[in-house]
Chain A
Amino acid sequence: MAEQTLTLPGQVGKSQEDFKELTYWGAVRRKLLHDKITLAAMALGLFMIIITLGAPWIANNILGYDPNDTNLRERNDPPTWAAESWPMFQEFTRTCQGAEGCNWALWPGIFSASFAGLRECFGAGPGNCHWLGTDNAGRDVLTRGIYGGRISLRIGAYVAAVSMTLGVVAGLVSGYYAATWIDDVVNAVIMTLGSIPLLFLLIILAGTFPVFRTPEGLSFLLGFFGWMGVSRLLRGQIFSIREREYIIASRATGASTWRIMFRHMLPNVSSIIIVIAIFDIASAIIAEAGLSFLGVGIGPPNASWGNMMNGSLGSFTNAPWLVITPGLFIFMTTLSIYLIGDGLRDALDPWLKND
C-alpha cells in the first residue's frame, strides 16, 4: 500500500524528497507524531504491553512474587504499605455508619501512615511488599494483575482478529454484491443476530460449554458475535466506491472479483478497518471482564482481569483492592486504546478537519 500516493492540495510541484514524505502513510505518520495525546496514549499502551509480556520477568525481579503462589497466612491482606492505615480507614468507615457521622479527623493519620508505609515499601525490595494487597488465597494482586493482562490482552487481540476477519469478509462481499441475494443473506444474518439478546446467548454458551471458558474459546465466541457492526459499516463504504472509475477500470481489464475486492477495494477502507479493530480490542476486554465477573468467563486457575473481580465477590468491602486493581488495569488499557484509536482515526483521514 505504500505505493499509493496522494497529492494533497497545495503540495503540487514539491521536490521528489518532499513527495516521498507525502505518501499516504507518510502523512499519517507525520500527523500522528504531532498529536501529543496519541503519543502519550501509545506510550501507555506500550507500557501495558511491556508489563504484560514481561510479566514473568517483572514478577521475578521487581515484585518478587509468583502469580499462583498461595500464601495462606496472607489472605486478603491489604497492600503492605497500608498495613497500618487500612485499619484506620476501616475505623473511619465504621464512624460513617454510626450515628455521629464520619470522623474526618482520622484522615491525617491515614495519610501519614500510608506515606510511611510507601517509603518502607520502596526500600523493601522484591518479595517484601504487596503493592496492591493479596487475594483470598494470599496471592499478590499486582502480580496477578500483570499476568491477567496476558490473558485479557490476548483475548482483546483474538477477538479483534476474529470479528475483523468475519466482518471484513462479510462487509466486502455484501458491499460488492449489494442488492443481490448474497447481500440479503448477510443482512438477514446481521438482523437475526441483532435482534437476539446477545449477552443472554453468550451466557448460555459460556456458562454451559467448558471450551468457551478458555481464552481462545471465549475470544472466538466474542468475535463470532461481534462482527456485525464492522460488516455494516464496510458494506456502506464499499458500496460507495463500487462504481468509482478505478474499480470499473480494473473490472474492464478483466481483474477477477476476488482481486478487485482485496487488491482494490480493501486498501481503500483499510484505515477504517484499523480504527475499528483497535476499538474492538477495547470492547472485547470489557466484555471479557463482564462475562468473567458473572462467572461464565475465563476459568479460575488462570488470572484474567475479569475473573479476578469475580473472586472478589463476597469480600469486596473488606478487600476493595480486589475490585479496584483489575478495574484500573482495564482502565489504563482501554483508555490508551481509545485514545490511540481516536488519534488514528484523525490521522488516517488526512482530509478530516480537526474536530
Chain B
Amino acid sequence: MLARYIIRRSVQSFFLIWLSTLIGFTIYQAAPGGPVQFLEDDPKATSADVERLATLYGVNRPIVIQYIAWLAGEDWLPQSETWRSGRCLADPDRCGKGIIRLDFGKSFYFKGQPAIDVIIERMPATFILGAASLFLSIVGGLPLGIYAAIKRGRLPDHVIRVSTVLVNTVPHWWLGLLLLIFLGGYLGLVPLSGMYTIGDGSLLDRLHHLILPATVGAIGGWIGFSRILRFEMLEVLNLDYIRTARAKGLSEKAVVYGHALRNAIMPFVTGLSGIFLLALSGSVLFETVFSWPGMGRLFITAVNARDFPVMMALFVIGSFLGVLGLLMVDILYSLVDPRVKYDVAN
C-alpha cells in the first residue's frame, strides 16, 4: 500500500515540478532583458557581436523551442539555427541534454560552466547554514514548547508566548542585521561576513562565523516549533490515556516524555514539510545580510544577469525540495504513527 502510495505521489510530484518549470520559464521569457543584454550597451561590442553571441547561446530562438531544448535537450532536434543553439550546431557533443536527462544546461553568466556545477559549489554553504539553523530551532523550539505546555497559564508560558510574538513582529533578517551591527560592528564579538577566516578554517573559527547567522535563521523555526508543540502537548495531556497514566501513579516526567511527547510530536513532523523550502527561501535574505556565500545570493545574481540555466536550475531544485519535503513528511508520518493508512483510492 505504502509503495503504491509513494509511486502515485512521486508521479504527482514530477508533474508539479514540471508545472513550476513552466511557470518559471514563462515569467523569465516575458521579463525584459536577456542573457546577452550585458553586451548591448558595451561600447566594445557591436550589434553584430551581440547577434553572434545570441545565436551561439541559442537565446534568439523561438521561446517554445528554447523551452523544449531546455526540457528535453537539443541533440535530437533538426540541424538548423531555428532549432539548435550555435554551440550545439558546431559541436554535437555540446548539445544540451535537457533537464529530463538531468542536464541543467550551461550557465551564460558563468561562461559555459554547467549550471549545476555552479550551484553545487555554493550548496555546502547554504546546507551548513540551513542544517545549523534547523538544528538550533529544534533544540531550542522543542523544549520551549514542552516547557510552555507543562507550565501552561503560568509565568513561563506567558513569557515564552509574548517573546515569540515579539520576535515575530519584525523581519528576522532585520534582527540579524541589528545583531550584526551591534555584536559584529560595534563590539567585535562576531565576524562581519563570510564563512571562515581565510587561512584558518578550523572548526572553532567556522562555528564563530556560523553562530550568528544560524541563530537568526533558527528564530522562525524556534517560534513555529514551540507553538506547534505547546498546542499539541496541551491536546494530548487532556486525553484519557494520559489521565490513566497519571492515575497509575507514573511520575510526571514519565507521563510527559514517555507518553505525551510521543504523540504530540507527530504534527510537529508535519511542520517539517516546508522546512527545505523555507531554508532555501530564507537563504536569500540571510545570505544577503550575512554575506554568506550560498545559493540564495547566487539566485539573485542569476536573476539580475538573466542567467536562465542557473536561475531555472535553482528553481527546479527549490521545487524539488518542496515536493520532497511534502512526500517525506507523509512517509515519516506513517512511520511515527502506524495508524495512518494510505488509501490509494482516497
| B contact residues vs A (CB 8 Å cutoff) | 13, 16-17, 19-20, 23-24, 27-28, 30-33, 153, 165-166, 168-171, 173-174, 177-178, 181, 185-188, 277, 280-282, 284-285, 288, 299-300, 303-304, 306, 311, 314-315, 318-319, 321-323, 326
A residues in contact with B281, CB < 8 Å:
197-200
B277 near A323 (CB under 8 angstroms)? no
Q: List 18 A-B contacts (CB under 8 A).
A: A93-B187, A102-B187, A192-B20, A195-B20, A201-B23, A203-B299, A204-B24, A209-B31, A290-B171, A293-B288, A309-B174, A317-B186, A327-B178, A330-B171, A331-B169, A334-B168, A334-B170, A355-B153
A309-346 CB mask vs B (1 if < 8 Å, else 0) is 10000001100100110010011001100110010000
B residues in contact with A342, CB < 8 Å:
165
A residues in contact with B318, CB < 8 Å:
196-197, 200
In the assembled complex, the CB of B177 is this many whole angstroms from the nearest CB of chain A, namely 6
4 closest A-B pairs (Cβ-Cβ)? A197-B318, A208-B31, A317-B185, A199-B281
| Contact A204/B28 with A282-B169, A294-B288, A323-B174 known, Cβ cut-off 8 Å | yes
A185-221 CB mask vs B (1 if < 8 Å, else 0) is 0000001101111111101110111000000000000
Contacts A204-B311, A293-B288 supplied; 12 other A-B pairs, CB < 8 Å: A96-B188, A196-B20, A197-B277, A203-B284, A208-B32, A208-B33, A209-B30, A209-B32, A286-B171, A316-B181, A323-B174, A330-B171
B181 near A197 (CB under 8 angstroms)? no
B27 near A201 (CB under 8 angstroms)? yes
B173 near A93 (CB under 8 angstroms)? no
B326 near A195 (CB under 8 angstroms)? yes
In the assembled complex, the CB of B257 is this many whole angstroms from the nearest CB of chain A, namely 23
Tell whether A289 is near chain B: CB-to-CB under 8 Å.
Answer: yes
CB nearest to A323 among chain B residues: B177
B residues in contact with A294, CB < 8 Å:
284-285, 288, 300
Majority DSSP secondary structure for residues of B touching A: helix
B residues in contact with A355, CB < 8 Å:
153
B residues in contact with A201, CB < 8 Å:
23-24, 27, 315
In the assembled complex, the CB of B279 is this many whole angstroms from the nearest CB of chain A, namely 10
A327 near B288 (CB under 8 angstroms)? no
Among the listed A199, A205, A286, A324, which residue makes an inter-chain contact with B178, where contact means beta carbons less than 8 Å apart? A324
B303 near A203 (CB under 8 angstroms)? yes
Residue count of chain A within 8 Å CB distance of chain B = 42
B187 near A96 (CB under 8 angstroms)? yes
In the assembled complex, the CB of B37 is this many whole angstroms from the nearest CB of chain A, namely 11
B residues in contact with A323, CB < 8 Å:
174, 177-178, 181
Q: Which of A284-316 contact B (CB under 8 A)?
A: 286, 289-290, 293-294, 309, 316
| Contact A289/B20 with A197-B280, A197-B315, A207-B304 known, Cβ cut-off 8 Å | no
Q: How far, in whole Å, are A205 and B311 apart by their CA atoms in the complex?
A: 12
B residues in contact with A96, CB < 8 Å:
186-188
| Contact A205/B173 with A93-B185, A195-B326, A290-B285 known, Cβ cut-off 8 Å | no
A residues in contact with B311, CB < 8 Å:
204
CB nearest to A205 among chain B residues: B27
Q: How far, in whole Å, are A97 and B17 apart by their CA atoms in the complex?
A: 49
In the assembled complex, the CB of A327 is this many whole angstroms from the nearest CB of chain B, namely 5
CB nearest to B282 among chain A residues: A199
In the assembled complex, the CB of B158 is this many whole angstroms from the nearest CB of chain A, namely 11
A residues in contact with B323, CB < 8 Å:
195
In the assembled complex, the CB of B24 is this many whole angstroms from the nearest CB of chain A, namely 7
| Contact A331/B170 with A194-B322, A195-B326 known, Cβ cut-off 8 Å | yes
CB nearest to B187 among chain A residues: A96
A317 near B181 (CB under 8 angstroms)? yes
A85-107 CB mask vs B (1 if < 8 Å, else 0) is 00000001100110000100000
* Most chain A beta-carbon neighbours within 10 Å: one of B17, B20, B306: B20
* Most chain A beta-carbon neighbours within 10 Å: one of B165, B174, B306: B174
Q: How far, in whole Å, are A339 and B162 apart by their CA atoms in the complex?
A: 10
A338 near B315 (CB under 8 angstroms)? no
B residues in contact with A192, CB < 8 Å:
16, 19-20, 23
